[in-house]
Chain A
Amino acid sequence: MTTIKQLFCTCIISFFTITAAAETSVIVSASNGNASIDKNTISKIFLGKSKSFPDGSQALPIDQNDGTAARDAFNSNVLGKSASQLKSYWSRLIFTGKGTPPKQSGNDSDVKALISNNPNMIGYIDSSAVDASVKVVHKF
């Protein structure tokens, strides 16, 4: 009985550990002037509806490659759209010349490297990959 209880506890603990590990951070370069950015503004930047940060400087959204865990989490939590819904959203804009989707630029470390060097860029990475070269402006 005790064993079952222990097992149950271990399961719950590991469940929370997994959830905590999957936290994703929206990041900008450490030299970017914005302190924190709300979800709605981030969503507008990544959907091509806004081209600037709250402080007025130019914003360049950077996506991770299709299929990474951070990208799936970002799509569903921040943009609220599935991969195929997003593809259909962008095909409506691409073929009218109204916009192009953010560049797909690799995984957590590729995106972090890009963003740390460019104060205009904004991206998202797993929170465990965050270091002093970038600044977290939103977490989910």
Chain B
Amino acid sequence: MKNIAKNLLLASIGIASSSQANDLNINGFLSVGASMLDNDKVEISGYDTNGGFKQDTILGLQLSKQVNDSTTVTGQLVSRGSEDYNTESAWAYINFAANDDLDLRMGRLRVPFYYYSDFLEVGFAYDWIRPPAEVYSVPFSSVDGVDATYRFSIGNWDNSAQAYYGRYTPEGAGVDLRNFTGLALSGQTGDFSLRASYHRLEIISDGTGSFGAVNQGAAALIGTTGSALNTGLLAAGYSNQDIAGAVDDFTLTGQEIGFYGIAAGYDNGDYSAIAEYTQSFGDAPFIPIVNTYLVKAAKRFSDITAHLTFTSSETELDSGINETIQKSLMLEDKQSSIILGARYDYDSSSALKFEIQQLTEDMRSGAGEIDETGMLYSIAIDLVF
């Protein structure tokens, strides 16, 4: 009995000393924001003319621990005001460092779609209150799978190549994104950086959920004799065979979607600029081709950074019968924004930000022509700890 107690005591001392030897790193970020829209005819998801405090409010907590010389575990929990503070694991992975230049990870990872994808929600890491929604528009940011990152130098360029494979099933959307795969290349030298990425995924829809039901409904309408859509297509001179083909095209399940993005950045400490362009495309006309870009310039005055951004997003329709259907389903979308903002670093781990965004909506998916302009006023505080 005495021995057991003694062993337990020794074991607990052992545990205590090992947790001191291998650091458990705890890091966090918090953004709190308030915003007000001046025109309720424009739509910026979640923002309204009554003002609000939760849309830009995000809390993230990250735990990481080096398990042995080559293995690290990392978990990041993110709680978003825009999703009623439901907490999600944005990252949850095991990293195996095969050598100094090659990392292999498995678990939940961020999809490296964009320049700012890796630290998408860490407001402190960029000048904006939020990355512009015109470009940063993919409605999910994680994938469950594996990736490999290889770091290498060519001359003065420090580069990395990241390839991943996985699957993602968004909750309640009735779609399963399979064979989700992609490659992201980035390079940096002195004040310049470049980035390019390419991604592909296959959509499997079971016809349920928010997305699946809408898609199945739309596909059915095209082929159903007597529906306004079907009658319209026949009147426009399309044959029943054309229409059957369109029903197939508009049925999402089994279709592939692609995405690529390119970006270039410059930062000399006083002046910085970034340009990013993306295109999503694929076999599925129910999700039309979208071209987006942003161009941002900023100037640092000691603790204050002033920045100006132009950004735009526009769908590109197919031709022939698919274009006719895309138009009648009102899948066209065209919007652009000018964002003027300032960031004040009041110490080395917190920043206060102001932003005015002028949004012009020409066409909105599901609503057709809009032609409205609205202003969104925002203020936020970003911290890292």
Contact = CB atoms under 8 A, between A and B. Distances in A.
Interface of A: 44, 49, 51-52, 66, 80-88, 91-92, 94-98, 100
Contacts of A98: 118
A97 B93 contact: yes
A82 B269 contact: yes
Given A66-B348, A88-B124, A95 B27 contact: yes
B25 A100 contact: yes
10 contacts: A52-B100, A84-B345, A84-B348, A87-B349, A91-B384, A92-B122, A95-B27, A96-B91, A96-B119, A97-B91
A97 B122 contact: no
A92 B125 contact: yes
B29 interface: yes
A87 B119 CA distance: 13
Interface in B286-332: 303
Contacts of B60: 95
B124 A85 contact: no
B72 interface: yes
B64 interface: yes
Contact of B348 (A49, A83, A94, A96): A83
Interface in B228-285: 269
B29 A91 contact: yes
Given A49-B158, A84-B345, A87-B348, A94 B269 contact: no
Interface in B170-227: none
Interface of B: 25, 27, 29, 60, 62, 64, 72, 74, 76, 91, 93, 95, 100, 110, 118-119, 122, 124-126, 151, 158, 269, 303, 345, 348-349, 351, 384
Contact of B125 (A52, A83, A91): A91
Q: Interface SS of chain B: helix, strand, loop or mixed?
A: strand
Contacts of B93: 97
B74 A97 contact: yes
B124 A97 contact: no
A113 B345 CA distance: 33
Contacts of B349: 87
Given A66-B348, A97-B91, A85 B27 contact: no
Contacts of A84: 303, 345, 348, 351
Nearest 4 A-B pairs (CB), nearest first? A97-B74, A84-B345, A96-B118, A91-B125
A81 to B, nearest CB: 7
Contacts of A86: 348
A57 B308 CA distance: 45
Contacts of A44: 158
Contacts of B151: 49
A49 B158 CA distance: 8
Contacts of B64: 97
A94 to B, nearest CB: 5
A66 B61 CA distance: 23
B228 to A, nearest CB: 49
B292 to A, nearest CB: 22
A86 B269 CA distance: 11
A51 B100 CA distance: 7
B171 to A, nearest CB: 23
A88 B125 contact: yes
Contacts of A92: 118-119, 122, 125
A94 B124 contact: no
A102 B29 CA distance: 19
A80 B269 contact: yes
B79 to A, nearest CB: 15
Nearest to B117: A96
Contacts of B124: 87-88, 91
Contacts of A52: 100
Contacts of A100: 25
Contact of A95 (B125, B158, B348, B351): B125
Nearest to B97: A51
Contacts of A87: 124, 348-349, 384
Given A66-B348, A85-B269, A94 B62 contact: yes
Q: Which interface residue of A52, A88, A92 has the most chain B CB atoms within 10 A?
A: A88
Contacts of A96: 91, 110, 118-119
Contact of B76 (A51, A80, A95): A95
A83 B351 CA distance: 13
A82 B268 CA distance: 11
B102 to A, nearest CB: 12
A82 B100 CA distance: 28
A105 B243 CA distance: 71
A97 B29 contact: no
